[in-house]
Amino acid sequence: MAKQWLVFAMVLVLGTLVSVTTAASLATFIFGDSLAEVGNNNHLQYSLARSDYPWYGIDFTGRKATGRFTNGRTIGDILSEKLGTSSPPPYLSLSQNDDAILQGVNYASGGAGILKETGQYFIQRLTFDDQINYFKKTKERIGAKIGAQAANKLCNEATYFIGIGSNDYVNNFLQPFLPDGQQYTHDEFVELLTSTLEQQFSRLYQLGARKILFHGLGPLGCIPSQRVKSKTGQCLKRVNEWMMEFNSKVQKLINSLNKRLPNAQMMFADTYPAVLDLIENPTAYGFKVSNTSCCNVDTSIGGLCLPNSKLCSERKDYVFWDAFHPSDAANEVLAQKLFSSLSSSASAPSPSPSPSLPPKPE
Ligand SMILES: *[C@@H]1O[C@H](CO)[C@@H](O)[C@H](O)[C@H]1NC(C)=O
């Protein structure tokens, strides 16, 4: 599930909102995996990709295990805080007639991937296609409340945050017992991922999405669940190279969609360098350990932090909370970095750092 460890999903969206004074009135829709999840899987009775038990949430308000895959807040939560807005609620927690959908919805689900087959062993999760189907339903419900034309406008003006793809590696391609890794070379696999994403982006566009922020993948070769596969506990170089390849292919796809689809304002946020820097230089950010997780997980059975796991004594010292996900303290650093780079790229017309905004048609 967790995987993507940089889901900063919300982050990006929020970044574009920084320049918009009416941020609170614009809706935000979030799609993704465990890095962005805020509790959808709590509603999937048979899902094995859940985190609504201790020690998850031990540093969240009220020490509550909400279904977030970390000890505290996600990057999206922290960005919402910075903007003074609230983190959109999980789709599956909403009642049929909830007015909250007018502000935004979070569809992210631990274990989800771009491909339908990704994360199958979790029994239940919302795949990216499922999430898009739920967005379509949301739009219909919005239309029932405010009329079809206003719903269209709301969807055109909303920001869409997408952080997905980590599970397609960690819980699919990189698992030797699953068929995709045996059947495809990496070149073929990344082509399958990007062609699937192209259809998914197009579908979102047809449903009215214009401002889409896609989070690139982080250096998954350095997450604890992958390091244990190296005899010396090092990052897996080949996996990191694949991440960079995926990122550059998605970046190209987004550039071409921006040219092809009228008024599309899609953006790719390259979070890879910031995450790698945090992992390689933890002390520069006030951390002590980045090569293993605070929660003493058993990576042979998945790597989530279970109620019988032992915790480290100082949670703030660790970049990773469990074998896949950053700690609240790491999310704080990453959210801050993303926030500043987005604010500067949103306000500066000059060449900007990693997350760069595409030229706006108007
Ligand atoms: C992490 O790094 C420290 C310091 O370099 C080392 O002593 C320790 O064995 C490493 N732990 C793992 C799990 O690789």
Q: pLDDT, tens digit, for every residue of 174-222? A: 999 999 999 999 999 999 999 999 999 999 999 999 999 999 999 999 9
Q: What pLDDT, on the 0 to 100 scale, is given for residue 12?
A: 43
Measure the CA–CA gap between 199 and 194, rounded to whole angstroms: 9
Residues in the chain: 362
What spacing in Å lies between the alpha carbon of 227 and ligand 1's midpoint?
Answer: 11
Q: 222, 232, 235, 291: which to mutate for ligand 1, most atoms within 8 A of CB?
A: 291
Q: Out of 34-38, 94-98, 354-358, pick the least confident.
A: 354-358
Closest ligand 1 atom to residue 292 Cα is: 13
264, amino acid identity: A
pTM of the model: 0.90
pLDDT at 103 over 70: yes
Phi, psi of 328 (to 5 degrees): -55, -45
Residue 15 confidence class, pLDDT cut points 50, 70, 90: very low
Measure the CA–CA gap between 215 and 161, rounded to whole angstroms: 8
Strands 159-163 and 289-293: unpaired
Exposure of 231 in the CB half-sphere (CA atoms within 13 A): 0
What spacing in Å lies between the alpha carbon of 276 and ligand 1's midpoint?
Answer: 17
Nearest CA to ligand 1 atom 14: 233
Q: What pLDDT, on the 0 to 100 scale, is given for residue 360?
A: 40
What spacing in Å lies between the alpha carbon of 290 and ligand 1's midpoint?
Answer: 9
Supply 219's token pair: 């250096």
The binding-site residues of ligand 1, defined as CB within 6 angstroms of any ligand atom, are: 233, 291-292
Measure the CA–CA gap between 90 and 108, rounded to whole angstroms: 8
Nearest CA to ligand 1 atom 1: 291
Interval 64-99: pLDDT, tens: 999 999 999 999 899 888 888 899 999 999 999 999
Burial (0-12, 13-18, 19+ Cβ within 10 Å), 95: exposed
DSSP 111-179: T--SSTTTTGGGS----HHHHHHHHHHHHHHHHHHH-HHHHHHHHHHSEEEEE--HHHIIIIIT-TTSH
Higher per-residue confidence, 360 vs 186: 186
What spacing in Å lies between the alpha carbon of 62 and ligand 1's midpoint?
Answer: 33
Nearest CA to ligand 1 atom 8: 291
What spacing in Å lies between the alpha carbon of 292 and ligand 1's midpoint?
Answer: 8
Closest ligand 1 atom to residue 224 Cα is: 13
Nearest CA to ligand 1 atom 11: 291
Q: Taking residues 150-174, what's their average pLDDT?
A: 97
What spacing in Å lies between the alpha carbon of 298 and ligand 1's midpoint?
Answer: 17
Structural domains present in the chain: 2-343 (3.40.50.1110)
Closest ligand 1 atom to residue 232 Cα is: 14
Closest ligand 1 atom to residue 291 Cα is: 1
Nearest CA to ligand 1 atom 6: 291
Orientation of helix 9-18 relative to helix 75-83, angle to 10°: 20
Strands 211-215 and 159-163: parallel
Catalytic residues: 34, 322, 325
Higher per-residue confidence, 334 vs 1: 334
Q: What pLDDT, on the 0 to 100 scale, is given for residue 32?
A: 98
Residue 300 confidence class, pLDDT cut points 50, 70, 90: confident
Q: What pLDDT, on the 0 to 100 scale, is given for residue 346?
A: 66
Q: Which residues of 144-155 are buried (b: 16+ CB within 10 A; e: fewer)?
A: eeeeeeebeebb
Nearest CA to ligand 1 atom 2: 291
Residue 137 confidence class, pLDDT cut points 50, 70, 90: very high
